[in-house]
Structure 1
Amino acid sequence: MYRYDEFDAAFVRERTAQFSDQVRRRISGELSEDQFRPLRLMNGLYLQLHAYMLRVAVPYGTLSSRQMRMLAHLARTYDRGYGHFTTRQNIQYNWPKLRDIPSILADLASVEMHAIQTSGNCIRNVTTDQFAGAAADEIIDPRPVGEILRQWSSLHPEFTFLPRKFKIALTGSPNDRAAIKFHDIGLMAALNGAGEIGWSVYVGGGLGRTPMIGKLINAYVPHEHLLSYLESIMRVYNRYGRRDNKYKARIKILVHEEGLETIKAQVEEEFAQVRGGRLTLPQEELDRIGAYFAPPPFKSLPVAAIDIAREKILDAAYGSWLENNLHPHRVPGYVSVTISLKPIGAAPGDATDAQMEAVADLAERYSFDELRVSHEQNLVLPHVLVSDLPAVYVALVEAGLAEGNAGLISDMIACPGLDYCALANARSIPIAQEISRRFAAPERQKEIGALKIKISGCINACGHHHVGHIGILGVEKKGTELYQITVGGDGTEAAAIGKILGPGFEAEAVPAAIERLVEAYIARRQTPDEPFISAYRRLGDAPFKEALYGTA
């Protein structure tokens, strides 16, 4: 994985010193909150309902055990003993004291981490597939390009104050696990006619108040011209993106109002001017960055079959974990392991300091000292020997992290909601907890199969509710928290935005409403293996609307 060079180290050290002085001046009263606000946001510090919140960047979701141990240290020393992993592959601390922020940032810098550009109208943390560099279906490991994008976007002088925040995601696989079509720019590895690898570029995706699916603006951009092409898109957006209305400031609105062909023509005009210039990536630079992501020294092993049926007879919980939490690896004898941060009845995405320490130990011992954060708020050990799975599972049981529910109904995405967030209209975490308890039985989850529920506490959609197979949006109406339910969303390469089926439900009625949807699906699926999303696409809204409201 990437290691800071002298420039990175100096850059983070200088920013830490600068912001530490700004914090000192805020505490002393030299800066008012209005003066401090843009400064803290540029450094990932929010003021939420009850306290400050610090959001720490995890570029392209990759961590070492040393870095994970530092995150545990921060939770234990400066917070309330836990951290919250987010859909942006970051971690948030909900209770730091302002006076401690300089110490936190200094500790982060000591392990090559920071909180820069995790907020503000700039290019945010670049995200990717949590199985990058390991997945069997991958065309290319996208993380070297993710690192190049990190370096290019960090304190970019032209794009520090964009019309609105800007998010980029990329995937090296044709099976999209990074929701690239719901980002301002989404990149998918592609092959040209000569078999050369480049990138398909999507633009104008996003969720929030106006959800939109990104549009393909260029089917193939070579590696060496990718930065030039992205810079061209950014220049067009920075020039024409609206600054008079924050609700219409995202690039998705610009693409929608001007039309893709108009935007594409402007991008191509910019690209013609910068192509071949200083942003062209020479092969030696691609090789230099790529060397940091060289594969670990895998053993040469035969394909290792796992007899899940046998294991489920011997230990049902272990068998379910094997069935749901493993992902195929490109190297025979290895798998990637999803560590669920969704134990039944818990807050999705939360991990205690002790759990973070345990995961760091597992990464160091069993996964070549490498960890991943997924945009679905779980953790991943990317390179685990099949023969080590029993030992990994035992350690996860001891840490309270052995839930075998990855991809199932209890593996929900949920934002912090009104328990923490000043922007939220309704609570998210209690809804997720109640649904999780209602569907806690492993045999019930297995019967239902693959089903993604996503929950947001406001229209900003930090919980990605628009792309849940079942989405739940908390709203406030006349002082009451109500929850709209959508059906049919999909964050994969088959991107779709869920449909609202009718009026919202009060909080206590939501779990039962979800159960009615599930029962309608089970009763009408063609086979026990037909996934919920496939059944919905075949059946349409009517049976699900009837299940919720008693009428189609």
Structure 2
Amino acid sequence: MTDGPSQPHTDTVTASPPRTRTRAPQPTGAWADGDRTPLNANEAFKQEDDGLNVRQRIIEEYSRDGFTSITDEDLRGRMRWWGLYTQRKPGIDGGRTAALDPSELDDEYFMLRIRSDGGQLSGEQLRTIAEVSTQFARDTADVTDRQNIQLHWIRVEDVPEIWERLEAVRLMTTEACGDTPRVILGSPVAGIAADEIIDGTPALEAIRDRWIGDPEFSNLPRKFKTAISGHPSLDIAHEANDISFVGVVHPEHGPGFDVWVGGGLSTNPIFAQRLGAWVPLEEVPEVWKGVVSIFRDHGYRRLRNKARLKFLLADWGPERFRRVLEEEYLGRPLVDGPPPAHPADRRRDHVGVHKQKDGRVWVGVAPVAGRVSGTVLGRLADLATEHGSGRVRLTAQQKLLVLDVDPASVDQLVAGLAEIGLSADPSEFRRGVLACTGIEFCKLAIVETKATARRTVEELERRLPGFDAPFTLHVNGCPNSCARFQVADVGLKGIVMSDEQGHDVEGFQVHVGGAIGVDAQLARKTRQLRVTSAELPDYVERLATRYLDQRDEGESFALWARRVPEEELR
């Protein structure tokens, strides 16, 4: 008997599931996780020595022994805690910005940033800044959109004397830069505007006096930006700050502040979000301390480009953030409150002549993109003292206000300001332009900004003298958005590009239709929207003219730019 055909093997073998490697999540570097091992060079030098401690070395060693005696960690790290950045060595083009080692970009001079929290300056303080500028900074001075004044060409040998002069009039450079609580933005018309909801100055001063320069908050994951305003115009760009307190009226509790957290632009623009909480004036410092403490403890310290508060808030959401703030840092719930009302006027800069609540007036003027000089600031101090109380304010739009002016002196003051290049009735282009420092001094920049802004404004004034609508043009020298280019009608990000002949030239990627306030939205951008620096006046003129021809009644440039086909924006 022969064997039959072999039967198929019927035993089943179950394949093992593919092995999936479960990687442990990478540490964020957050102190709240219990491990303070520094995960990058910045965290290492901060842990080795607090940035505030470099002050004594500057006074006792570096100012005596000169630039070459400064250690790398102090030069490109801790000196920022006292408002000092090395400026860009002249002659290095923008195409080499990212290719060179920082030591190759450093000039042996510094930018010095002077804090003026709330933009508040007395005549004596302004005159002191002017004297420092003319004696130690080659007559340079820029008003920033953070309500600071920046000087250039500062030698380390002169820093101790500069500090003595500034501190003698109650000015400081403490934590003007670095991974710290930077200057506190405040309404430039706080305490004087007739339509003010609430004056936030007491809270601003309490925060500054208690915690600026305190080691409790001198080692944050990165910079921390604060803004406080009780003015209905929303004049502090609250959408772009780590924390903002915005004036509102609670239906039961009266005037106070709505809390916004986690805003920031730069290479990852994110608008701040409301926590839905109403805070009375006297509790603002405590809530501020709670929020900055969350950032210190839970903020991401592993990667510098993820170390801002906005990334933590994006992961947590406002509900969890508020819960942690209330339960772990305040020990009590916050009161729910209303959002701010939309302002009737889109403008936030306070330019022009305006009545104060005491019967006097303020006069707001527009330097082109914040560029002034020590000589101009000295003359401004004289005019402010001659025609007012001497008080001057800086705005978050690079503008200047002279306060407490007798109405009978307005014409004389306005004429005097015009003589030094400060117009109280500027064109829309002059009024709406912002520009960062640019390649002239900044080591991160790719293109020139201040002179480009001036040239473009002057050309537009000549070509379109009757242009009659608010128009913002923000000129930025790199992707970091110091001039808030993503929220301008026309925002310009500096790039190196090829011209028609194939040569590398300075240019800009164009962002169009951005806005904050009523129509808050990030601007449109496409790869096709690029323009060389030389062609910029022609390009903006073309856009502005099309807008005038095509706008609907009452339509802003930003709304027009969002609705038209891209071809209209080229």
TM-score interval, smaller chain: 0.7 to 0.9
How far is 1:264 from its partner?
Answer: 2.0
**AA at the equivalent of 1:394:** A
Q: Which residue of 2 aligns with 1:521?
A: 547
Matched, 1:46 2:104: no
Matched, 1:420 2:441: yes
Give the Cα–Cα distance (whole angstroms) in 1 for the partners of residues 292 and 126 of structure 2.
33
Asked if the contact 1:409/1:445 (under 8 Å) is kept, the reply is no
TM-score, normalised to structure 2's length?
0.79
Once superposed, what is the RMSD of the aligned Cα atoms?
2.5
Matched, 1:440 2:466: no
Find 2:569's aligned residue among 536, 545, 548: 548
Asked if the contact 1:340/1:406 (under 8 Å) is kept, the reply is no
Alignment of 1:3-22 (within 5 A): 19-22=58-61
Give the Cα–Cα distance (whole angstroms) in 2 for the partners of residues 513 and 33 of structure 1.
43
> What SS does structure 2 have at the residue aligned with 1:447?
coil
Asked if the contact 1:326/1:335 (under 8 Å) is kept, the reply is no
Alignment of 1:270-309 (within 5 A): 270-273=328-331
How far is 1:208 from its partner?
Answer: 0.5
Give the Cα–Cα distance (whole angstroms) in 1 for the partners of residues 292 and 332 of structure 2.
13
Give the Cα–Cα distance (whole angstroms) in 1 for the partners of residues 407 and 150 of structure 2.
32
Give the Cα–Cα distance (whole angstroms) in 1 for the partners of residues 183 and 427 of structure 2.
24
Asked if the contact 2:326/2:332 (under 8 Å) is kept, the reply is no
Give the Cα–Cα distance (whole angstroms) in 2 for the partners of residues 97 and 132 of structure 1.
36
Alignment of 1:126-275 (within 5 A): 126-273=184-331
How far is 1:439 from its partner?
Answer: 1.1
Alignment of 1:372-387 (within 5 A): 372-387=393-408
Distance 1:275 1:241, change over 3 A: same
Q: Which residue of 1 aligns with 2:4?
A: none
How far is 1:409 from its partner?
Answer: 5.0
How far is 1:216 from its partner?
Answer: 0.2
Is the deviation greater in 429-438 or in 104-113?
A: 429-438
How far is 1:192 from its partner?
Answer: 1.9
Find 1:334's aligned residue among 349, 360, 373: 360
Give the Cα–Cα distance (whole angstroms) in 2 for the partners of residues 488 and 81 of structure 1.
36
> What SS does structure 2 have at the residue aligned with 1:331?
coil
Give the Cα–Cα distance (whole angstroms) in 2 for the partners of residues 253 and 493 of structure 1.
24
Asked if the contact 2:363/2:424 (under 8 Å) is kept, the reply is no
Find 1:400's aligned residue among 413, 418, 421: 421
How far is 1:127 from its partner?
Answer: 0.8
Distance 1:476 1:269, change over 3 A: farther
Give the Cα–Cα distance (whole angstroms) in 2 for the partners of residues 351 and 248 of structure 1.
35
How far is 1:191 from its partner?
Answer: 2.0
> What SS does structure 2 have at the residue aligned with 1:439?
helix
**AA at the equivalent of 1:507:** S
How far is 1:150 from its partner?
Answer: 1.0
Distance 1:473 1:164, change over 3 A: same
Asked if the contact 1:470/1:488 (under 8 Å) is kept, the reply is yes
Asked if the contact 1:228/1:274 (under 8 Å) is kept, the reply is no
Asked if the contact 2:353/2:424 (under 8 Å) is kept, the reply is no
Give the Cα–Cα distance (whole angstroms) in 1 for the partners of residues 514 and 112 of structure 2.
30
Q: Whose helix proportion is higher, 1 or 2?
A: 1
Give the Cα–Cα distance (whole angstroms) in 2 for the partners of residues 406 and 275 of structure 1.
48
Matched, 1:488 2:510: no
> What SS does structure 2 have at the residue aligned with 1:219?
strand
Asked if the contact 1:325/1:338 (under 8 Å) is kept, the reply is yes
Distance 1:31 1:509, change over 3 A: closer
Matched, 1:77 2:98: no
TM-score, normalised to structure 1's length?
0.81
Q: Which residue of 2 aligns with 1:345?
A: none
How far is 1:475 from its partner?
Answer: 2.1
**AA at the equivalent of 2:467:** E
Q: Which residue of 2 aligns with 1:533?
A: 558
Give the Cα–Cα distance (whole angstroms) in 2 for the partners of residues 272 and 334 of structure 1.
41
How far is 1:169 from its partner?
Answer: 0.8
Asked if the contact 2:81/2:177 (under 8 Å) is kept, the reply is yes
> What SS does structure 1 have at the residue aligned with 2:220?
coil
Listed as ranges, the gaps of 5+ residues in structure 1 are 1-12, 277-323, 343-347
Distance 1:18 1:413, change over 3 A: same
Listed as ranges, the gaps of 5+ residues in structure 2 are 1-51, 90-108, 335-349, 499-503
Q: Which residue of 1 aligns with 2:42?
A: none
Distance 1:15 1:234, change over 3 A: same
How far is 1:480 from its partner?
Answer: 4.2
Q: Which residue of 2 aligns with 1:86?
A: 144
How far is 1:101 from its partner?
Answer: 1.1
Give the Cα–Cα distance (whole angstroms) in 2 for the partners of residues 452 and 29 of structure 1.
43
How far is 1:231 from its partner?
Answer: 1.9
Give the Cα–Cα distance (whole angstroms) in 1 for the partners of residues 473 and 205 of structure 2.
31
How far is 1:397 from its partner?
Answer: 3.1
> What SS does structure 2 have at the residue aligned with 1:421?
coil
Identity %: 27
**AA at the equivalent of 2:548:** I
> What SS does structure 2 have at the residue aligned with 1:508?
coil
Is the deviation greater in 413-422 or in 403-412?
A: 403-412
Give the Cα–Cα distance (whole angstroms) in 2 for the partners of residues 155 and 455 of structure 1.
32
